[in-house]
Amino acid sequence: MTLDEGFLEDVDQVAATMDEHLQMLVFSATIPDSMQPFLKKYLKNPDIISLDMGAAGVNQNVKHFIVKTKERDRYGVFQKLLGTLNPYLAIIFCNTKESADDLYAKMKEEKYNVALIHGGLEARKRKLIVSEIRELKYQYVVATDIVSRGIDIHGISHILNYELPEDVEFYVHRSGRTGRMDKDGKVLSLYDFVDTVYLDKLNNKGIKTESLDIKGTDLVAAKGRNTRTNKEWKPGKSLDQARSLVRKPTTVKPGYKKKYQTELKKVQKKIDRKGR
């Protein structure tokens, strides 16, 4: 984060004062392009050690699932999701301190065994909470991205994205909190219709997501988010459907028949394309 959050110039100035024979080691889950000039400047013929993440370059021990909110109340959907899970330890990520505070208050009110950690807490308080998390005093931890990097906590079985992070790289870091040391892990994310492009970016990075639906206390496989559905379409019936959708003019004006036929053909073509 030191090299990625606007401090690169400051770190560069500090590094420039160091002995040229000083050994420098850099650790990161991802290496953004903005770091490359710095690394080339200070690392002379470095040995690069990478974890074996498989052909796709992602941790194969971690499975990624998405649950559509269907534009309903997010916390209501999240409640139902929690009803299907019994994690060993789950980290629930929110994008802001305010959102984390709100979610924590709601879960606390419903008697979940939950802790809260974000940058708004005093450093001493954060240190105490992390220590308690490591002692497995909680089943759920509501957090912001302050926990997504640099903190190694054993036993995290689930990552729950209450809100998807704006930056895809942060999704990678959040996911990296589970599936460590050859353990299995699951990442479950709530998503809205507007997140379609975001999920495409994850797919392009080799992160394959499976769609799930909540049925009572079970999570069941759902149709992929890109699966087209059109229950009304029937082969050979597109003209009848078009007629039902195109309103006939109530008043007769010159050229009304031509306009009606043109609109009819336009709607029919759309129905045919969806059907295919």
All domains in the chain, ordered by first residue: 8-42 (no CATH), 62-221 (3.40.50.300), 238-275 (no CATH)
Residue 128 is classified by DSSP as H
The answer to whether residue 211 scores a pLDDT higher than 90 is: yes
Local confidence band at 255 (pLDDT 50, 70, 90 cut-offs): low
Residue-wise pLDDT for 131-165, tens only, equals 999 999 999 999 999 888 767 788 899 999 999 99
- In the predicted model, what is the mean pLDDT of residues 5-24? 83
Local confidence band at 233 (pLDDT 50, 70, 90 cut-offs): very low
What pLDDT does 246 receive? Answer: 58
Tokens, residue 146: 């302050």
The answer to whether residue 260 scores a pLDDT higher than 80 is: no
What pLDDT does 35 receive? Answer: 77
Lowest mean pLDDT among 48-52, 114-118, 168-172, 208-212: 48-52
Q: Using CA atoms, how far apart are residues 1 and 149, in angstroms rounded to an integer?
A: 8
Q: Using CA atoms, how far apart are residues 241 and 26, in angstroms rounded to an integer?
A: 62
Please, how many CA atoms are within 13 Å of residue 104, restricted to the half-sphere of its CB? 19
The DSSP H or E segment spanning 161 is: strand 158-161
Q: Using CA atoms, how far apart are residues 276 and 271, in angstroms rounded to an integer?
A: 9
What pLDDT does 181 receive? Answer: 75
pTM: 0.69
What pLDDT does 219 receive? Answer: 92
The DSSP H or E segment spanning 234 is: none
